[in-house]
Amino acid sequence: MSRRGKFSLLISILLALCIVGRRGKQAQMQMSKKRTSDESHAFKKAIREKVWVETSVDSDHDGKKDRVKVDIIRPEETEKGIQVPVIYNMSPYNAGLVYPDYYNVDEELHCPAPSFTEEYHYDKYFVPRGYAMVNASSIGSKGSDGCPTTGDPQELLAAKAVIDWLNGRADGFDESGNNISAYWTNGKTGMIGLSYEGTIPNGLATLDVPGLKTIVPIGAISNWYDYYRANGAVIAPGGYQGDDADRLAKGVLTRDNPDVCMECMDQMEKEQDRKTGDYNAFWDERNYLNGVHNLKASVFLVHGLNDMNVKRKQFAQWWEKLKQHDIPRKLWLHNGGHIDPKVTGGDKWLKTLHRWFDFWLYDKDNGVMDEAQVTIQQPDDTWIQQTEWPHIDAHNTLFYLGTDPSGRGALQEFEGASEEEKATFTDNAFMKAEELVKKPEVIAPHRLAYVTSKLDSPIRISGFPQLSIQASVDHPAANLTALLVDYGPDGATVVTRGWMDACNVDSIWQSKALDPGRIYTFEWDMEPHDYKFEKGHQIGLVLMSSDYEYTIRPKTSVSITVHYGKSHVILPLVHV
């Protein structure tokens, strides 16, 4: 080819590149002018690729930095000059969840003298609307290196590496080992996930990662201690009696050659201290509440009001910290349990989520931040809007424990009982709460029950119930459990519950053996809730020791004597 021919070919290539780049910029400008990103990209033509991102951690101690597997789905147009934001999910569940045996919970107390589908990840919804979907496998799971560490800093730093790669700060490799870059993204990243997949964004946001603009934690953990413990008591996630942090790590250990992680698993088993249930350094580094002051990303917080796996305290204490530090935020409470809000919210949820991501990742002025901060689904499936949660009109109402004229347990808004009045019950760890709450008017050996008079009008609880109970125990150790109950014409409904290890009467950091017969003041909270008691119903409080579905179940028959006088429960009530 002549020089003139080569020159002409070079000019043609440069012109073509300019045209492609101009079209990409034009498409980007047209997209940015719209208030909502529309469905203009064909999902069937989307580009799919795999990348292994090198992290900054070596969790399996093999002398090499862990790499995590990343699956990417991005619009075809990203090969024509368009740069798009990313919706990112880091999951330990991509190869499923295979649990080892749970711990035995039928033992004495001690005091010292899921595989998710493409549908779930919203790929088919957001890729056509101009987003790249990035789904990574957490350390220790299939396709990635390292060992699972159940929410510790190593796990968070591994998740951070993916955002670093998206912004050119970390290396990524294809299957052949070639270094590749994320040229197709503008670096703006939002994270979303349910359960463990939503917990990682909570923790990662506390590291203030450049490029992480927003997170959408769904049914997520904010403090791992409160997932497996409660006020010193060893507590199971609802439906998983005998679970613990090390068992979860073993359940997601789906990498090749998992035996290299056994030393790590053994270390977790030791450090989690299942024997006492005390708070310690192991749990403190997994407490993301400590780092909320570092948050720069906005938070769209989502939780099920009937979620007893990742319990409501996880969202409530996170929300409170977000308020304290004035983090841009939104709260969505649905009527379901530990599920994706698509199930209960349908199109309403998808449209709200879409607008949220458009606002934070596409800079679209769509008004989503001008709306009420809180959306709550009602039992009849209608939705209400609030400016805040708990409800701004919620007032702490104190009810003392006592008896009515007939001698039955009563909740009274006055200190009517003397300190000499008392009642005793004996633990039966193998009776379920649903049986113990029945017939509160009947004196029963294994619980104490107290009820209000019938309500003259509906009343709503919004926030944390709190207890202060003066009691003595005839053994050095005991579980304490409180149930808040709705008594109506159709029977009893357990509204919420709370637990405490009596040995942690002074601190969750250190348990101590009780002096049998000595009167202590035990203070603990119950799981927060947003719940309405109807007119004519009665609010009930049931005190018992072990909770069959949640606590350790000792065989020792412990007796607990509750002294009235100053014993009380505080309920955050809103008159409807």
Q: Which ranges of 34-127 does DSSP label H, i.e. alpha helix?
A: 123-126
Which of 18-27, 36-45, 188-197 has the highest average model confidence (pLDDT)? 188-197
- List all residues 6 or more positions away from 62 whose beta carbon is below 8 Å from its beta carbon: 145, 260
User: Is the pLDDT score of 12 beyond 60?
Assistant: no
Average pLDDT value over all residues in the chain: 92
List, for residues 257-300, the tens digit of each pLDDT value.
Answer: 999 999 999 999 999 999 999 999 999 999 999 999 999 999 99
**Average pLDDT of the residues in 195-216:** 98
Please choose, from the candidates 538, 525, 497, 519, the residue with its C-alpha nearest in 3D space to the C-alpha of residue 412. 538
User: Is the pLDDT score of 418 beyond 60?
Assistant: yes
Task: Walk me through the domains of the chain, giving residue ranges and CATH numbers.
Answer: 48-55+65-72+85-386 (3.40.50.1820), 395-575 (2.60.120.260)
What token pair was written down for 237? 């996630």
Q: Residue 7: what pLDDT? A: 45
Using the 8-state DSSP alphabet, how is residue 216 labeled? E
Q: Residue 133: what pLDDT? A: 97
Q: Kindly compute the dihedral angle of the four CA atoms of residues 206, 208, 296, 220, in this order, to the nearest 10 degrees.
A: -30
More confident residue, 303 or 2: 303
Name the least confident of 142-156, 352-366, 402-416.
Answer: 402-416
What token pair was written down for 174? 């294809």
d(C-alpha 443, C-alpha 426), whole Å: 12
Q: Residue 100: what pLDDT? A: 75
**Average pLDDT of the residues in 475-489:** 98
Q: Residue 4: what pLDDT? A: 47
Q: Residue 419: what pLDDT? A: 74
For the annotated catalytic residues, the residue numbers are: 195, 307, 338
Q: Is 370 within 8 Å of 328 (Cβ atoms)?
A: no
**Average pLDDT of the residues in 100-108:** 82
Q: Residue 104: what pLDDT? A: 87
**Average pLDDT of the residues in 437-442:** 96
d(C-alpha 404, C-alpha 450), whole Å: 10
Helices and strands per DSSP (H, E), number in the chain:
11, 26
What amino acid occupies position 7?
A: F
187: left (phi over 0), alpha (psi -120 to 50) or beta: left
User: Is the pLDDT score of 254 beyond 90?
Assistant: yes
User: Is the pLDDT score of 1 beyond 50?
Assistant: no
Q: Are strands 479-488 and 185-194 parallel, antiparallel or unpaired?
A: unpaired
